[in-house]
Structure 1
Amino acid sequence: MHDPRITKLANLLLDHSCELKRGETILIEAIDLPEQNLTCALIEGAAARGATPLVTTKDLTVLRSLYRTATPEAMKLAGKLERNRMEQVQAYIGVRGSGNSSQHADVPSEKMDLYQEHWLRNVNDYRVPKTKWVVLRYPTDSFAQAAGMSTEAFTDFYFDVCTADYAKMAENQKPLIKRMEDADKVRIVGPGETDLTFSIKGIPVRPCAGQRNIPDGEVFTAPVRDSLNGVIHYNTQSRYQGTVFSDIRFEFKDGKIVDATANNTERLNTLLDSDEGARFVGEFAIGCNNYVRHPMLDTLFDEKIGGSLHLTPGQAYEDADNGNRSRIHWDLVLIQREDYGGGEIYFDDQLIRKDGFFVVDDLKGLNEGL
C-alpha cells in the first residue's frame, strides 16, 4: 500500500532542501535501506521536475568488508571515483538505514582512518560546499529499538518530526542568529564540572531549518580555535565509528582538549589522536527542534534535541570556519533541560538559556512545544 507520508517527505527533500530545478542532476544515495519506496519516490519526483536522477545503493555489510581490507591505494581510488561522480551533479540526497548500527564496531581504527581520510573526506570536501545536499536516516527496527519505541510508533514519530514546519522554525531562529553574530564570549554551565568559556567573535553563524539535515533544527557557528578553556561533561551517549561512548568529559586549555575520559577512554583518545585538529573544536551549535526530546544514538536526531547544544571536536564547516581541519567531525551533545540536570548558556555574561528554555523575550518563540 502506498504511504502518502513518503511522497510528502520526498517532496520536502526535493523542493525545500535541495530546491531542485529543471535541467539539474541529482545523486540519490540509498544506504542499507529495508525497502526502496522513498528511493523510488525521489527518482520519480526528480524526473517529474525535469531533473536527471542518478542512484547508487550501498550495503553496510559490504562496506564493512571494504573497510576491514582497506589499503591507502584502495581508499584513494574509491575516493577519487566517488568524488568524480559527485562533481557531475548539482544536488545530493543521502538516505541511510541500518539493520545493525554497530556493523563497523570491529573495523580496526587504523582502517577506519584510511576510509575517513582518503574516501569520505575527499568526497565531502566537494559535496558540502559545492552541491545542494541533504542527509537523513530511515526508520528501521534497530533505529526504533535505540529510541525505546515500537517500530510502528517510531515510524509515526519519524514522519511527524521529519516533515515539521521548517518555514516557521526558520523565522523563529532569526533572533538567535542575530544574538550569536553579535556575541563574543560564550559560557556553558552545567551540573558537576561543566563550566566552559570560549569566543565566537567574527565566526559566521548559520541556521539549519530543513536544508541540510532531516530532521533539522539548530543554529551553528564555531569557537575561535584557541579560545576554549574549562570543562564540559556530556550527558548523551554517542555512537562513532561503530563504538558507543558515554560519560564523555573534556578539559580544554587554549582551545585544545588536554584531558579526555569516557566509558572507553583508550578508544576515545585514539580517535582524538587521529590528527592535530581532532583535539580542537570545529563547531558549536544550539539545538532547537522541540519535537525531538530524547537521545536515540543517532547524531542527526540527537544534535537537534530541544534544549540541547553540541560542541564538536574536529573539522570546521567552510561556511562557519575557524580554520580547524581534521578527518573527524564528531557532534557530541549536552542536553540542558531540567529533566537532564539543567544548565545555562551565557552570551557576554547575559543569561540566554536556562534549563533548556530561552529566557530573553526575542528568543522565546524557540521554546514553543518544549
Structure 2
Amino acid sequence: MDPRVREHARIVAEHSASLQPGDNVVIDAHPVAEDLVTALFETCADVGANPLAVSQRTGTRFRRAYLRNHDGEFELPSHEMALFEEMDVYIAIRGDANVTETADIDPVTSREYDTARKPLLDERLSKRWVLTQYPAGANAQLAEMSTEGYENFVWDAVNKDWDEQGEFQAQMVELLDPAEEVRIVSGDTTDVTMSVAGNTTINDTGKHNLPGGEVFTAPVPDSVEGEVLFDKPLYHQGREVTGVHLVFEDGEVVEHSAEKNEEVLTEVLNADDGARRLGELGIGMNRDIDRFTYNMLFDEKMGDTVHMAVGRAYEANVGEDNEQNESAVHVDMIVDMSEDSFIEVDGDVVQRDGTFRFEDGF
C-alpha cells in the first residue's frame, strides 16, 4: 500500500473526524477506494472505534440499476435512517470506476430521489462527517491526467500542514466575518451583491471536506441581486453542464441558462423553493489545487476562484437571528477570478485578479 494512503487515513481519523474509542463509524465508498477503506479500518482498530463499510452514494452500478428501474414515488428508507441514527461518524470517500455511470438517469428521477432522502442528509450532517477523495483511475481520466500525476495531485492537496493553511485563510476570515455586504465582479458577465450580515464565516481546514482550503459563509437568502456566469464547468449527475448563467432578484433565480445540459440545471433549480436561492458563498484558497479537475471537492478550493451554491445553507454559517435557506440540494458552481475580477467587502476591494489584499503583489 502506498504510504500516502495511510497518511491520508491518519488525517481523516485524527484531524477531520476526531475518532474516539467506541465510535460507530460508517465508511461510504466505492470498492475502487478499497486501500483507503482498509487503512481507515486499521486506524479504527488502533483507536477502538467500530467501522462499517457501505457503498450507497458513490455512483455504483447497483444504484443506477435501482433508479433506472424504479417506478412510482420514492420512500424514505427507515432501515438506512436507523443506521445513521446509531452512527457517530460518517466518512464518505469519492472514487469512481466510471464517472458517467449515472449519466443516463432521468434528471427528474434524480431530483425526486434526492428530495425523498433529504432527512437522511439532515441526519448525516448532524453527526461528525468527512468527505474526501481516493485518486481512482476514472477520476484521473476525467481530470485529463495520468494515474500517477493524479495521485500526486490528490495527496499534495490532502496530506499537508492544515494548521499552516488555516493561518493563511484566517486573514480572509477576519475580513469577511464582520462584513455586511459582498460584491463579486468578473469581466462583463458577473456582477452580484449579497448581504452576509450576521452570518458566520468558516475557515475550512479539512475538518469536513478533505482537502479543505476555502473560507465560506451563507448569504442572507433574499439579499442576492445581479447576475453570475459560472465559467468553470459543473459536473453533476454524471453530466457536464457548461456556461451556467443565473440572474437573481430579491435573492431568487429568476432567469437561468446553460450552454450544455441545461435540463440538468433546470431540475436542480426545480428541486424545491430553496433551490433557487444561494446557500453558500465560498472563496478558494488552497494553492496546491492549481488546476481544474471536474471534481468540486477540489475545484471549489482552487486559488483564484469563488464558488456559490444554490440550495441548502449550512447551519453553522447562519447567524442566530437569520434565516437558514433549506433545500434538498446543495450544488456548487465556480467563477474564475484570476483576470479582470475583484471581490469587494463593504466597499473595499479585498482581492484583485486572484491576489488577496494580504498577499504580495496586490
2:67 — aligned with what?
Answer: 67
Match of 1:184 among 180, 196, 204: 180
C-alpha deviation, 1:100, in angstroms: 1.6
2:121 counterpart letter in structure 1: N
Distance 1:71 1:178 in 2: 51
1:47 — aligned with what?
Answer: 45
Residue 124 in structure 1 maps to residue 121 in structure 2? yes
Match of 2:269 among 259, 267, 272: 272
Distance 1:86 1:287 in 2: 31
Contact 1:70 1:114 in 2 (8 A): no
2:24 counterpart letter in structure 1: T
Distance 1:18 1:348 in 2: 35
1:306 — aligned with what?
Answer: 303
1:288 — aligned with what?
Answer: 285
Contact 1:308 1:337 in 2 (8 A): yes
Contact 2:108 2:267 in 1 (8 A): no
Contact 1:75 1:114 in 2 (8 A): no
C-alpha deviation, 1:86, in angstroms: 1.2
Residues 277-311 of structure 1: per-residue CA shift (max 9 Å, x gap): 11111111111111112211111011111111111
Distance 2:247 2:181 in 1: 18
Contact 1:71 1:114 in 2 (8 A): no
Contact 1:14 1:45 in 2 (8 A): yes
Q: Which runs of 5+ in 2 are unaligned?
A: none
1:238 counterpart letter in structure 2: L
Q: Classify the secondary structure of the residue corresponding to 1:63.
A: helix
1:24 counterpart letter in structure 2: D
2:82 counterpart letter in structure 1: N
Distance 1:50 1:273 in 2: 44
Contact 2:90 2:130 in 1 (8 A): yes
* Aligned-residue RMSD, C-alpha: 1.8
Contact 1:70 1:115 in 2 (8 A): no
Q: Classify the secondary structure of the residue corresponding to 2:38.
A: helix
1:20 — aligned with what?
Answer: 19
Identity score, percent: 32
Q: Give the 3 Å change call, closer, same or farther, for CA 224–25 of structure 1 in structure 2.
A: same
Q: TM-score, normalised by structure 2?
A: 0.93
Q: Which runs of 5+ in 1 are unaligned?
A: none
Q: Classify the secondary structure of the residue corresponding to 2:324.
A: coil
Residue 297 in structure 1 maps to residue 303 in structure 2? no
Distance 2:344 2:74 in 1: 47
Q: Give the 3 Å change call, closer, same or farther, for CA 266–27 of structure 1 in structure 2.
A: closer
Residue 210 in structure 1 maps to residue 209 in structure 2? no
1:109 — aligned with what?
Answer: 107
The within-5 A match list for 1:25-36 is 25-31=24-30, 33-36=31-34
Q: Classify the secondary structure of the residue corresponding to 2:98.
A: coil
The total of aligned residue pairs comes to 355
Distance 1:293 1:152 in 2: 16
Q: TM-score, normalised by structure 1?
A: 0.91
Distance 1:146 1:125 in 2: 30
